[in-house]
Amino acid sequence: MIVILLTIAASVAALLGGLTALRSQKWLSRALALTAGLVLGLVCFDLLPEIFDLSSSQRLDTVYPMMALLAGFLLFHFFEKLVPIHEANEGQYGPHRHPIFGTARAAALSGHSFLDGLSIGVGFQASTAVGSAVALAVIGHRFADGFDTTTFMVFHGNKLGHIRRWLAVVVLMPVLGGLSTLVFDFSEKFLAVYLGLFAGFLLYIAASNILPQAHSQDFSRKSTALTIGGVALMFAITRFI
């Protein structure tokens, strides 16, 4: 039940991000700065230690989860080059606008959204602490995903009804991903490798997308403090809660 509730929370975060994009961008940079800290803290203080613990208990060579981490980082990078899914702005894309670009990006983020929900469920299969920390980081960056989806589609001239339908898909996918983990019970060796893959995704998202977007819009002491605060919060959650 907790997995379903948390994936619903992730879906609501994406919906709020999409609605915010239709109304105001005022607080986006601050939200992104905090989220970047949460995601980096999750990888360093929760996912990597859990991967090493699982590998040790299962006598799994840690090179395999680390290979999965590198694969996750590079796969997301190459996929992003094929289908742009971040930083939609006129300076980058110039006059080349077409609704098909907005639809392609929404479809790409829908797949990413499913993996977010799946990761929450997989995290809880590893332990309650890991699942809770993963859920917090996922909920944080889901806001940015919903915001990005809507902004990109508006920029490329998609109709409002079309935008709303794709936003609904992006919002629903984490719940479906979480539900899938209630059907399948994964081995601990698989969990270690999958968490490595997910850590690679998160490292790329934080370092190449969320953090640059946050500080390009508002490079101030407040946004920097929010990033550091996000890291500190995740450290406190994983160590003391």
- The CA distance from 107 to 158, in Å, is 14
Mean pLDDT, residues 58-77 taken together: 92
Residue 222: its H or E element: helix 221-240
Tell me, what amino acid is at 198? F
- Is the pTM of the predicted complex or chain greater than 0.85? no
What DSSP character marks residue 133? H
Residue 147 pLDDT grade (very low, low, confident, very high; cuts 50, 70, 90): confident
- The CA distance from 132 to 149, in Å, is 26
User: Which residue would you say has higher pLDDT here, 39 or 29?
Assistant: 39
Please provide the average confidence, as pLDDT, over all residues in the chain.
79
Is the pLDDT confidence value at 193 over 90? yes
Q: Please tell me the least confidently modeled range out of 44-53, 161-170, 209-218.
A: 209-218
Residue 218 pLDDT grade (very low, low, confident, very high; cuts 50, 70, 90): low
Amino acid 153: pLDDT: 73
Residue 71 pLDDT grade (very low, low, confident, very high; cuts 50, 70, 90): very high
Residue spans of the domains in the chain: they are 2-21+28-240
- The CA distance from 237 to 234, in Å, is 5
Q: Please tell me the least confidently modeled range out of 33-37, 86-90, 186-190.
A: 86-90
Residue 233 pLDDT grade (very low, low, confident, very high; cuts 50, 70, 90): confident
Amino acid 42: pLDDT: 82
Residue 93 pLDDT grade (very low, low, confident, very high; cuts 50, 70, 90): very low
Q: Please tell me the least confidently modeled range out of 72-81, 96-105, 132-141.
A: 96-105
Amino acid 241: pLDDT: 60
Q: Please tell me the least confidently modeled range out of 53-62, 91-100, 208-217.
A: 91-100
Using alpha carbons, select from 191, 223, 170, 186 the residue that is nearest to residue 36: 223
Q: Which residues contact 63 (CB under 8 A, 6 or more apart)?
A: none
